A and B are shown apart, each in its own frame.
Chain A
């Protein structure tokens, strides 16, 4: 039974990650490859606040989200003025920089050794100390995040995002401050990405930089693309699919070493095939045109 709850925790984490990236990529048409960096910043900030400053899980998480949004401005402000390709490269660079900092700033992050012994989250006095309870916590947070993201998408601001995505020049001509809209949504996406970071840290009770690599960022992007960019249910479906895929491979009794590569080969090819024949993914509304 614990196995099922574990899967649910993982799906929740990736559903929030994908939904928050969907805000940036699906609704606003900005291809970002540094979502794993925001995920990592969220995890590290929450962990450090809990372990070094004695914060509780939820306050640490909230502060982590705020700080992540702030840090995202450092990349958004210089690169969002420029053409799309520059932005993609800048986010790639930011991802590499954050990974490098997590890996090399040993006095803060303990670098490659990682941080063990992360305290169990305590919510309203109840310790979240079983997988079942953790599934409840992450499920609840996932629902909360998804509801908020849906509210953003359906708000006038959400309509503005789609207007900018579909015709930036027209939106600018109507007097909309396009760079500011982009920067805002990017920071919003970053803040939401910090939440699963906190969840991941509290669940694993150990973090190291290898969970927050460029490969992970590509993985998150592919969840959005496969599930369907620009739709509300797409990221959830994509997350379920991508979390269950390795389990299915395990079911086929593929050795673990092979399965890890196999899983990546499958999703890499899936991206290529989808872009060719169904760029809007399984459920998407936006085909990156």
Chain B
């Protein structure tokens, strides 16, 4: 029972961590509270549904399509909405309100096109695998494998490569980065593409596992944002750690209390962290004058 619980928490944590890392890429670099990231998630799930069920594409291609759709949508949002605001020097509040508007408009467009009801991508009983006394469906195994490959690679990439340093540099001090010759707009487009693709990946896998409705994006986005704060804003390993922690806590809630209290307790965790450790688990040491900001 405990092992099964851990396994479910792991699967859940993998998806939260993917979403949280994608969100962190965008948030850390642009400082935009990108709520519409949740809409990119939803759009990916629905495109996957469209390709798989309506157009009868093979599974793998449908997932690729969903991921590409999310990336495209993310970049479009940056080019059409955020970049003009950034050039104007608009405040963070303005980007946030725009993002809320984008989220509402996109999600309702999806609901208009596909209907409000829950959709299942894999009707029937999924084949399961048994491993060390734990039962997982094949999709769940795929979720773990994808996360196990992508997460360490990405975190290492961001830590070690020049690209990762550029992204961290832009996050630390965008003006200095630009003055040194970095094309901020190109970096922003890149992080929107990569971050949204990660959301798309999490969305397609989760949709294959448990289905979706037009409203799925928001709770997933919020959980990712909580994972980012719990793990440590400004880092890239933080959201991954936070994601797994939340995954475990959530499956513990499902087991011990009731699935209905998941959201309440997730945000309870957030409030606890805001009170006692607002810098998160993994955040680096800072000088005082920085943390005051």
Binding site for B on A (CB under 8 A): 29, 31, 75, 78-79, 82-86, 88-90, 92-94, 96-97, 99-101, 103-104, 214-215, 218, 221-222, 225, 258, 261-262, 264-265, 267-272, 275-276, 279, 287-289
Contact = CB atoms under 8 A, between A and B. Distances in A.
Contacts, number: 135
B152 interface: no
A275 B97 contact: yes
**The 8 nearest A-B residue pairs measured at CB:** A271-B101, A268-B105, A93-B267, A268-B104, A100-B264, A264-B108, A288-B93, A272-B101
B288 to A, nearest CB: 15
Interface size class of B (residues with CB under 8 A): 35 or more
A166 B103 CA distance: 28
Nearest to B102: A272
A86 B105 contact: no
Nearest to B101: A271
B218 to A, nearest CB: 7
B93 A31 contact: yes
Interface string B206-239: 0000000000001100100110010000000000
B174 interface: no
B94 to A, nearest CB: 5
24 contacts: A31-B97, A79-B274, A84-B92, A85-B33, A88-B96, A97-B263, A100-B263, A103-B260, A104-B258, A104-B260, A104-B261, A214-B218, A221-B97, A222-B100, A222-B101, A261-B109, A264-B108, A271-B100, A272-B101, A275-B94, A275-B98, A279-B94, A289-B90, A289-B94
A86 to B, nearest CB: 6
B278 A275 contact: no
Contacts of A86: 229, 274, 278
Contact of A96 (B96, B97, B111, B263): B263
Contact of A265 (B97, B108, B226, B275): B108
B50 interface: no
B91 A218 contact: no
Given A31-B93, A90-B271, A275-B85, A82 B278 contact: yes
B90 A279 contact: yes
B105 A265 contact: yes
B278 A276 contact: no
Nearest to B275: A78
B271 A265 contact: no
A96 B218 CA distance: 11
Nearest to A31: B93
B187 interface: no
A106 B270 CA distance: 24
Contacts of A267: 101, 104
A94 B267 contact: yes
Contacts of A269: 101, 105
